[in-house]
Amino acid sequence: MSAPGRRRRRNPASQAFLGLFLLLVAAGLAVYAWATRGDQPQSEDEATDTVVWDAGDATVREIVIEGEHGRIVLRPGPPPELVASPDAPFGGQGPMAADTIGGLLSSRRWWMHEPGPYPLAEEYATTLVDGLRRLTAQRRVAEGVTGQALEQYGLHRPTVRVTVRFTGQDEARVLELGAESPVTGGGTYGRRAGQDAVYLLSPGLADTLKMAPDALRETMFVPFEDDRVQRVELEWDGARLVFVRQEGGTSWSMERDGRRVGTQDDSQLSELWFALHQWRAADFVSDQGDEPAVRARHGLDAPYGRIRLEFQAAPGQKAGPHLEIRVGGTADEGGRYVMTNEGPWIYRLDPDDLAYFEDQVLPRLREPATGGGQGQAGDAAQDEGGEGQGAPQGD
């Protein structure tokens, strides 16, 4: 024990370590405070200082990204020749049909025209279009930055150059991106070309502008307007189902392998819509699905499964458009090869999405909700009694 009244002397090494630790903590807090100044509530003047540009009521009509991945050109809507192509079975049916279906060829969707053409993933299109119409930074870092002073922000040699054009405006706005902030998740330095103010841009927008073309492509490749579907043909593993929407929209008349077996509840068709909307491309396999030899190589000339959705006719049209999905051979990596009639692209369907469709959705679709009995009993009744016993109820 220490003698009463005496103080224990601190170890000089411990004192030095403690001092260094406190110095590092203070430095870290200072860096964090500097990096997150933009997260604090801003006054009106400070908020105005973070606006790089504002196009007002104008809409974005073209985005050109030039950087590590070459030149990427984005515009609303697919190329007209793709929409109007009459080449069956993998071609467009015209602009009105495309908008009726509401699929990849719809004029409201953004597309990558160079390279490509490819449909742009909707979440990335929203990030780019909204972010570049009124470009707002996390904060303004510095002003009067020119010449060699740009080097500390990586803006002496920009890594990405973005040209944005707006409807009704002749002048294009150009954004240059430089280095990333040294703070993890802190964003990327940027400036409007020709100006001397440097901004810190949010990771969401900046990271999207740096993505490779394949990463920007839409992977959810079966969008459509559910409530416009009037008829469904589903051929799968040798069996054929047909559903026709009945007046009122709460049930569908049903055929199995050419025989009417009753009706199917609308909730089961809704499960089909849900499953198809969730189909995701695990890989982009080929852009040459319009060539017979390529389709044959992936089992898409005589497909394992085929789903044809027929839509209501637009005003002035006698027949409605259709969306056809072909499911081909099994891929070595899992899943199956798939393509639709909206373009020549062959995808590898995610194995989990395929399993959910085959295990959960398809078995319920095969059994009618009303009329004709269930399964083989219903078929037998129709074979013996014809329309009297096997006719669908409520059709």
Residue 329, both tokens: 């051979």
Which residue pairs from 326-335 have beta carbons closer than 8 angstroms and sit at least 24 positions apart in sequence? 326/300, 327/303, 327/354, 328/295, 328/298, 328/299, 328/300, 328/303, 328/304, 329/298, 329/299, 329/300, 329/304, 330/299, 331/283, 331/285, 333/282, 333/283, 334/282, 335/282
Tell me whether residue 263 is exposed, middle or buried, using C-beta atoms within 10 angstroms of its C-beta: 0 to 12, 13 to 18, 19 or more.
buried
Check residue 208 and give its pLDDT. Answer: 97
In the chain, domain spans: 51-78+117-216, 226-388
Check residue 250 and give its pLDDT. Answer: 83
Check residue 331 and give its pLDDT. Answer: 97
Tell me the per-residue pLDDT of 164-197, one tens digit each, with 9 for 90 and over.
Answer: 999 999 999 999 999 999 876 689 999 999 999 9
> What fold characterizes domain 51-78+117-216?
Immunoglobulin-like (2.60.40)
Check residue 270 and give its pLDDT. Answer: 96
End-to-end CA distance of the chain: 99
Q: What's the pTM? A: 0.79
Tell me the per-residue pLDDT of 336-351, one tens digit each, with 9 for 90 and over.
Answer: 999 999 999 999 999 9
**Mean pLDDT in each 10-residue stretch from start to end of the chain (395 residues)?**
43 58 61 46 53 95 97 95 66 82 94 96 97 96 94 96 96 96 85 96 96 97 96 95 89 96 96 97 95 96 96 83 96 96 94 97 94 48 39 38
